[in-house]
């Protein structure tokens, strides 16, 4: 059987180990060819090929449920569930999603783009099954990196309290999240990997007791206690922690040995209550280059499969915002030992790996634990440090309660740096940075700013580090800057809440925030070709707004347009509209941004065009919005 013939995972049933090994090779070939061509996550999926095949060979996926922790390790799952012939469209507009989506396949039982969710969702499914009197298996596959997230530990704590709720947790332990894991839990798991496999005491023990002369049935009331005691003797010392938490522990199991995996999963399915199967895997398995560079090949842009090298760009690109952020922060930290960079397992993505390399004492990686990261930063701020929490916009949502209670209420000077703010492209709805303006703007004591380009980013980093009156947040987009000149030092901080006029005109006022300032300037040029002259303002701050500049201009010009790369509801445009209303200025206003929709996976350019956020679309919308008024002005 060829992988292309598999449209349902139950087709794995009855296949020999040799046939399953052939399927495994074909999965790796298709995985590598696709990601090399179009880009995507590489190492995670390559590491779970045998795990996926073995698990699905022991389940009936017409009934049984599987949840995957962060869908980028579920590419083999997609290839085994009828998506082989469309897999080449991975992460492309209208193609296969890079993460699990319930609307994409009946086999995607739970969608996930953020880590540490699988055990909670699987436990919910298992409890629903029991409440309805149903009878199917539920499994959660979680990586050791995701196990550092507090939510996963909360779910383990709950599941361990339910000895009659059957749940299988498969721990995919490759010693990595994106970067090497940090903390006590990964250190503990590493000890487990090095332990001898657990030899399980089966229920045959009971029958053996019954055949002991003069004992027979007389030991039955005490039998369970004896069995449990003997079983604990068989558990490696380090595995006993999971046993104490209420789980039956099995492992560690070789994650690339199909026979051993299948036998272990079959045994696990027979156990009552929560079971944890500890599977040791190699991230990037089967592609030597990825095995040797597990951080670099977690995800890749298109690359040459033979050499592993990225396909070169057709023309040189300006530095990315993340690179400029990293370089600037390191420069500032070298002269200020109180600056401490904090990441939640995203050192490479945020650029803080450079800080870790240059100034390791001023760098903290907390693992996948955004809530802890925020309150840790608050504690550092209490003692006079200058914490810089570099967290993607989409992931900072996970620490919202801590931002409110531990930072804003106490007015602590934490500097939040929100990378990947706005449209991020191929990762889809779970990773789009759409909501940070709205969810932070409503919080007392919070200051919000966004740079128009990479040079202003440098100034805002200085501003954020020096601001001590409370929390301050800076959002900046994924991708490259505009190629404007940068400075090595001597950056000046910006006055809080002050905007700047970039272009003057009498017909319409364009207020751009962050990444939408340059599109506003381009739209103004297009409008000028139609005889409409626009004033363009770089707002810089969404909170506090520069009302001293904006309100007189709004009153004078009489037509206002706001532009932002984020959700319109509660965003920058709402802030401007509220300010006009509060100051009794009845001025027509058009808010341009992301409407109340989920932005699916596509290139950023495709998403911007679909949402009407290109300069030409902005210009056309301005003309339509104020057509009668502008005609009168131009007439």
Distance, in Å, from the CA atom of 453 to the CA atom of 450, rounded to the nearest integer, reads 9
| pLDDT tens-place string over residues 247-279 | 999 988 999 999 999 999 999 999 999 999 999
Distance, in Å, from the CA atom of 237 to the CA atom of 192, rounded to the nearest integer, reads 9
Residue 251: exposed, middle, or buried by beta-carbon count in 10 A (0-12, 13-18, 19+)? buried
| pLDDT tens-place string over residues 405-440 | 999 999 999 999 999 999 998 888 989 999 999 999
Distance, in Å, from the CA atom of 280 to the CA atom of 327, rounded to the nearest integer, reads 37
Strands (E), 192-289: 248-254, 274-280
Residue 397: exposed, middle, or buried by beta-carbon count in 10 A (0-12, 13-18, 19+)? middle
Q: Is 468 within 8 Å of 519 (Cβ atoms)? A: no
Q: Which helix (H) or strand (E) holds 151?
A: helix 150-159
- Residue 201 is predicted with a pLDDT of 40
Examine the pLDDT at 121 and tell me if it is beyond 90: yes
Distance, in Å, from the CA atom of 38 to the CA atom of 256, rounded to the nearest integer, reads 27
Distance, in Å, from the CA atom of 526 to the CA atom of 7, rounded to the nearest integer, reads 51
Please state, rounded to an integer, the average pLDDT across all residues of the chain: 89
Distance, in Å, from the CA atom of 388 to the CA atom of 49, rounded to the nearest integer, reads 38
Examine the pLDDT at 212 and tell me if it is beyond 60: no
Q: Which of 283, 331, 475, 591 is catalytic?
A: 283
* Angle at alpha carbon of residue 530, lines to 525 and 534, rounded to 5°: 50
**Residue 173, SS3?**
strand
pLDDT tier for residue 284 given thresholds of 50, 70 and 90: confident
| pLDDT tens-place string over residues 189-200 | 656 555 555 444
Look at the alpha carbons of 583, 589, 590, 596 in this order and tell me if their dihedral is positive or negative. positive
Quote the DSSP letter at residue 627.
H
Residue of 503, 421, 495, 511 whose CA lies nearest to 459: 495
pLDDT tier for residue 114 given thresholds of 50, 70 and 90: confident
* Count of positions (residues) in the chain: 635
Examine the pLDDT at 238 and tell me if it is beyond 70: no
Rounded to the nearest 10 degrees, the angle between the axes of helix 118-131 and helix 150-159 is: 30
Through-space distance between the first and last CA atoms of the chain, rounded to whole angstroms: 74
C-beta neighbour count of 66 within 10 angstroms: 27
Task: Give the predicted TM-score (pTM) of the model.
Answer: 0.86
What region, left, alpha or beta, does residue 14 occupy, with left being phi > 0 and alpha being psi -120 to 50 degrees?
left
Alpha helices in 311-430 (DSSP H): 321-335, 347-350, 352-358, 370-382, 393-396, 400-402
Distance (Å) of CA 590 to CA 93, 426, 502, 509, 577? 29, 29, 20, 10, 9
Written as one string, the DSSP assignment of 16-85 is -HHHHHHHHHHHHHHHHHHHHHH-EE-HHHHHTHHHHHHHHHTS-TTT-EEEESSGGG-HHHHHTTT-GG
Q: Which of 370, 456, 564, 565 is catalytic?
A: 370
**Residue 610, SS3?**
helix
Q: Which helix (H) or strand (E) holds 10?
A: none
* Catalytic residue check, 370: yes
Alpha helices in 346-385 (DSSP H): 347-350, 352-358, 370-382
Of 344 and 177, the one with more pLDDT: 344
Q: Which of 129, 331, 398, 540 is catalytic?
A: 398
């Amino acid at each position: 059987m060829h992988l292309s013939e598999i449209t349902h995972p139950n087709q794995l049933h009855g296949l020999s180990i040799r046939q399953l090994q052939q399927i495994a090779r074909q999965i790796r070939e298709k995985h590598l060819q696709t990601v090399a061509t179009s880009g995507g996550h590489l190492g995670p999926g390559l590491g779970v090929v045998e795990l996926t095949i073995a698990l699905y060979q022991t389940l009936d996926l017409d009934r049984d449920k599987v949840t995957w922790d962060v869908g980028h390790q579920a590419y083999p799952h997609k290839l085994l569930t009828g998506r082989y012939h469309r897999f080449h469209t991975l992460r492309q507009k209208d193609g296969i999603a890079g993460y699990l989506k319930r609307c994409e396949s009946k086999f995607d039982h739970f969608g996930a783009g953020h880590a540490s969710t699988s055990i909670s969702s699987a436990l919910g499914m298992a409890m629903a099954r029991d409440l309805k009197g149903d009878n199917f298996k539920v499994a959660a596959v979680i990586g050791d990196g995701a196990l550092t997230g507090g939510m996963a530990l909360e779910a383990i704590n709950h599941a361990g309290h339910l000895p009659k709720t059957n749940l299988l947790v498969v721990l995919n332990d490759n010693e990595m999240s994106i970067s090497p894991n940090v903390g006590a839990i990964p250190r503990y798991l590493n000890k487990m990997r090095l332990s001898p496999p657990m030899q399980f005491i089966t229920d045959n023990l009971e029958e053996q007791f019954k055949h002991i002369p003069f004992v027979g049935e007389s030991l039955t009331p005490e039998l369970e206690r004896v069995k449990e005691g003997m079983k604990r003797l068989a558990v490696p010392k380090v595995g006993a922690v999971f046993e104490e938490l209420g789980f039956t522990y099995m492992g560690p199991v070789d994650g690339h040995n199909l026979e051993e995996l299948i036998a272990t999963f079959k045994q696990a399915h027979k156990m009552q209550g929560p079971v944890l199967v500890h599977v040791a895997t190699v991230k990037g398995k089967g592609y030597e280059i990825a095995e040797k560079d597990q951080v670099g090949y977690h995800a890749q842009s298109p690359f040459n499969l033979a050499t592993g090298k990225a396909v070169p760009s057709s023309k040189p690109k300006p530095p990315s915002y993340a690179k400029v952020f990293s370089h600037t922060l390191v420069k500032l930290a070298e002269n200020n030992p109180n600056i401490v960079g904090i990441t939640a397992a995203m050192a490479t993505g945020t650029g803080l790996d450079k800080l870790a390399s240059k100034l390791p004492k001023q760098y903290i990686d907390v693992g996948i634990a955004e809530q802890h990261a925020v309150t840790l930063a608050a504690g550092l701020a209490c003692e006079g440090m200058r914490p810089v929490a570099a967290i993607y916009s989409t992931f900072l949502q996970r620490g919202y309660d801590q931002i409110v209670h531990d930072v804003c209420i106490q007015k602590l000077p934490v500097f939040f740096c929100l990378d990947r703010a706005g449209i991020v492209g191929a990762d889809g709805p779970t990773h789009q940075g759409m909501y940070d303006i709205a969810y932070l703007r409503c919080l007392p004591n919070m200051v919000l700013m966004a740079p128009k380009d990479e040079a202003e980013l440098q100034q805002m980093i200085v501003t954020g580090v020096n601001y001590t009156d409370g929390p301050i947040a800076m959002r900046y987009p994924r991708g490259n800057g505009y190629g404007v000149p940068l400075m090595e030092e001597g950056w000046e901080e910006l006055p809080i809440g002050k905007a700047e006029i970039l272009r003057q005109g009498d017909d319409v006022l364009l207020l751009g925030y962050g990444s939408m300032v340059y599109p506003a300037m381009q739209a103004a040029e297009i409008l000028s070709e139609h005889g409409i002259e626009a004033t363009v303002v770089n707002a810089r701050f969404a909170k506090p707004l520069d009302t001293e500049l904006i309100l007189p201009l709004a009153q004078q010009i009489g037509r206002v347009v706001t532009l932002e790369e984020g959700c319109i509801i509660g965003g920058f445009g709402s802030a401007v509209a509220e300010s006009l209303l509060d100051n009794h200025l009845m001025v027509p206003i058009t808010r341009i941004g992301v409407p109340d929709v989920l932005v699916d996976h596509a290139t950023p350019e495709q998403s911007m065009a679909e949402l009407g956020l290109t300069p030409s679309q902005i210009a056309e919308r301005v003309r339509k919005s104020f057509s009668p008024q502008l005609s009168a002005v131009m007439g």
